[in-house]
C-alpha cells in the first residue's frame, strides 16, 4: 500500500527534478552532487552558531551514506530544496519542515552557505520564491520561522520578503525572534494577482 505523506497531502510535489525560478535564485530538488557543499556548510562552526546548532563531527563518507538515504526519502514532513544562482551555482538551501496538514502550516529554514553571496539579495529572493511557490501551488495557509534574536541580517531578509514579527521564544540557551507570513497577507501584498508580494 502506498502511504501518502503530509507534504504530498498539502500539495507539495514529490518530483525529483523540480525547478522554481525567482529573480536572483532558482530553487530546485536536491541531488547527490550537493553533498560536498552541504557537508562543508554543516561542518562550519560559524554557520552552525548562526543557526543555533552544533557543527557536524562525522566523516564525509558517513555523511554521504545518510545523504543518499535522505535524498530518496526526505522525511514525512520535510520539503528540502537547493538554492542556486540563476547561473547554476549552488549557494545554499531552503527547506520547509514540520509541514502540518491539519494546521495547514510549515516552518521555513534557509541557509546561504557561501559567504560570497551574503547581503546581495539572494536570501530574500530564495525566501520570496519559496513563499510564492507555497501559496500558489499548495493548500498551506501559514509559513513561520525563527531566527536568533541577534541575527539582524536574517531578520532584515525575512522582513524584505514580507514576513511579520510574531514574538520571541527561547529554546535551551538560545533566544529567537519569531516571524510569519500568512496566505492572507501574501495575497494582500501580491494585490490578489498571485504575483510577487514586494
Ligand atoms: C540569513 C540569510 C539567509 C540572509 O540572506 P542574504 O542573501 O545574506 O540577505 P539579503 O541580502 O537578501 O538581505 C539582507 C539584508 O540585511 C542587511 N544587513 C546585513 N547585515 C546586517 C546587520 N548586521 N544589521 C542589519 N541589517 C543587515 C543587508 O544590508 C540587507 O538589506 P538591504 O538589502 O536593505 O541592504 C543569509 O545571510 C544566511 O544564510 N546567513 C548564514 C546563516 C544564517 O544566518 N542562518 C540563519 C537563518 S534563520
**Count of positions (residues) in the chain:** 198
Distance (Å) from CA 162 to ligand 1 centroid: 14
Measured by CA distance, the residue closest to atom 37 of ligand 1 is 118
pLDDT category of residue 1 using cuts at 50, 70 and 90: very low
> Hey, whose CA ends up nearest to atom 31 of ligand 1?
156
Which CATH number is associated with domain 17-141? 3.40.630.30
Residue bearing the CA closest to ligand 1, atom 29: 119
Backbone dihedral region for residue 70 (phi beyond 0: left; psi -120 to 50: alpha; all else: beta):
alpha
Residue 153 CA to ligand 1 center (angstroms) comes to 3
Q: What is the pLDDT of residues 150-174, one digit of tens each?
A: 999 999 999 999 999 999 999 999 9
180 CA from centroid of ligand 1 (Å): 17
Is pLDDT of 69 > 80? yes
pLDDT of residue 192: 53
- For the Cβ of 144 lying below 6 angstroms from any atom of ligand 1, the answer is no
| Ligand 1 contact, 181 CB (< 6 A) | no
Please give the Cα distance from 63 to 173 (Å, whole number).
Answer: 27
Distance of CA 111 to the CA centre of its chain: 7
Centre of ligand 1 to C-alpha 119, Å, is 5
Sequence ranges of the domains in the chain: 17-141
Kindly tell me if the per-residue pLDDT of 11 is higher than 60: yes
Query: Concatenated DSSP letters for 127-163?
Result: HHHHHHHHHHHS---EEEEEEETT-HHHHHHHHHTT-
Contact 90, 83 (CB under 8 A): yes
Q: Once rounded to an integer, what is the mean pLDDT over residues 170-179?
A: 97
The verdict on the CB of residue 120 being under 6 Å from ligand 1 is yes
C-alpha cell read off for 178: 519569531
Any atom of ligand 1 within 6 Å of the Cβ of 180: no
Q: How far is the CA of 169 from the centre of ligand 1 (A)?
A: 21
Mean of the per-residue pLDDT values for the chain? 93
Amino acid at each position: 500500500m502506498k502511504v501518502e505523506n503530509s507534504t504530498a497531502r498539502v500539495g507539495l510535489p514529490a518530483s525529483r527534478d523540480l525547478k522554481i525560478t525567482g529573480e536572483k535564485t532558482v530553487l530546485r530538488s536536491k541531488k547527490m552532487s550537493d553533498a560536498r557543499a552541504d557537508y562543508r556548510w554543516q561542518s562550519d562552526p560559524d554557520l552552525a552558531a548562526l543557526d543555533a546548532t552544533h557543527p557536524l563531527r562525522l566523516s564525509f563518507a558517513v555523511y554521504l551514506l545518510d545523504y543518499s538515504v535522505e535524498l530518496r526519502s526526505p522525511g514525512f514532513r520535510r520539503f528540502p530544496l537547493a538554492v542556486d544562482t540563476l547561473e547554476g551555482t549552488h549557494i545554499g538551501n531552503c527547506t520547509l519542515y514540520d509541514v502540518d496538514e491539519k494546521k495547514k502550516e510549515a516552518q521555513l529554514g534557509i541557509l546561504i552557505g557561501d559567504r560570497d553571496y551574503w547581503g546581495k539579495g539572494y536570501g530574500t529572493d530564495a525566501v520570496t520564491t519559496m513563499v510564492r511557490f507555497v501559496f500558489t501551488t499548495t493548500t498551506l495557509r501559514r509559513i513561520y520561522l525563527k531566527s536568533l534574536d541577534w541575527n539582524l541580517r536574517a531578520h532584515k531578509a525575512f522582513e524584505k520578503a514580507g514576513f511579520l514579527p510574531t514574538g520571541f521564544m527561547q529554546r535551551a540557551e538560545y533566544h529567537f525572534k519569531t516571524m510569519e507570513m500568512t496566505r492572507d497577507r501574501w495575497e494582500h501584498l501580491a494585490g490578489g494577482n498571485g504575483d510577487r508580494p514586494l
